[in-house]
Amino acid sequence: MQRFALWLYALATCLATPLLRAKLRRRALAEPAYGQHVDERFGHYGPALDSVQPQAEDERFVWIHAVSLGETRAAALLLKELRPLLPGMRLLLTHGTATGRAEGAALLQPGDVQLWLPWDTPGATRRFVRHFRPAIGILMETEVWPCLAAACRRAGVPLMLANARLNEKSRAGARRLAWLARPAYAGLTAVWAQTEADAERLRSVGAPVAAVLGNLKFDVVPPPAQQAHGRAWRAAATRPVALLASSREGEEALWLAALQSNRPPTQAGQAPEAIKTGAIGKLQWLLVPRHPQRFDEVERLCRAAGLTVSRRSRWTAGPEAADVWLGDSMGEMALYYGLAHVALLGGSFEPLGGQNLIEAAACGCPVVMGPHTFNFAEAAELALQAGAAERVPDMASAVQAAAALALDVPAQARAAGRCLAFAEAHRGGALATALAIVQQLRRPTER
């Protein structure tokens, strides 16, 4: 039955290949990176990659798959601990998104290779494994693919799931498709879970959980220069700064509606300029959309509501006066968290699962989050218990909570201190995972 299920799945992914090519062409219109190196998605590699194939056993790649931006940042923390333990290691780094690939480019050293992960068909995954012959595969967080797992198993490549998490929604889906998901999870060599709750859920779908090593993202060390830059700008600001961090589609509209609902009642019948009273009059708002292709869209949305906008990309000496500052840059979240007195957690005000709040805590920026944090449930709960975050039912309540905290200087300082203590208390997962990888590499390869 399991073999037949995998065959049906493989047939479906093969038939969907033209749809994937069409999707990549559409996405490339907004993000050109999706139109580059497309053959890699299907396990075809040109002459330039022929020369990087390992020739000896000690030259084999350590393969890490980091699908998107968050996983790539976690991979960076892991590599910081892993490279000193494996001097001269060659990294094979794969991604699924343009933001992940752009971020991952900075992690490469001479001899390393960066690619798109192949589409999950038997042919593409088989060609990928045969071409690069990795000594080990490390999938970051959630990326378990049936054909890829099968290809690694046949080739004798130990496949690990690191910093692993599985929320209740994903577990329910895996159980509904147990005929396909269970063999894929069971085909992993080992799983290192973030939390005991993740470990229990992963075991329930057949994953071989070897240990609970914590969340690698707690090991983040925000760039000191970025933090200092942000703090200097914050000190020069005339109002407390509230940040809507990594906002997703629909959340900026909720935020604008919340500003309208929080304005004084006497302004209810006036022109759009009235939105600048109330919360917008007391706070300097900073919006940082999650995806760069939405920067222009968010600016248009704010201007349509009668708000002036100043974009980070146009600042020289510092932020320019405007109702809204728009963080339209990549890789500067530490700067934005340093600039802010409080942050609203994007992805948590729509049913999107939230975003990682650990970087905010490491920067000493208190967080207000909405009801939807199922992708980071354990970290969110720990932050609540530590007083590093506050949960509210909706965006309107978040705007009120942000204003209350940002305008209360002693309370904001206490919350910032709790954030730093919370981040410090949970560090160590990256080193523990790196040591587990080294231990696995030293075991005799089972073929």
Please identify every residue annotated as catalytic: 71
Report residue 26 as tokens. Answer: 């559409």
DSSP 318: S
CA contacts within 13 A on the Cβ side of 248: 13
H or E element, residue 362: helix 358-362
Separation of alpha carbons 53 and 47, rounded Å:
11
Closest to 136 in 3D by CA, of 393, 447, 445:
445
Which conformational region is residue 163 in: left (phi greater than 0), alpha (psi within -120 to 50 degrees), or beta? left
Closest residue by Cα to residue 243 from 418, 365, 87, 76: 365
Question: CA 185 to CA 146: how far, in whole Å?
Answer: 8
Determine the Cα angle at 415 with ends 413 and 421, to 5°.
105
The DSSP line for 253-275 is HHHHHHHHHTS-GGGTTS-GGGG
- Rounded to whole angstroms, the Cα distance separating 141 from 150 reads 19
Rounded CA-CA distance 316/318 in Å is: 5
Token code pair at residue 24: 């990549």
Count CB neighbours of 266 within 10 A.
Answer: 9
Q: How far is CA 87 from the centre of its chain?
A: 28
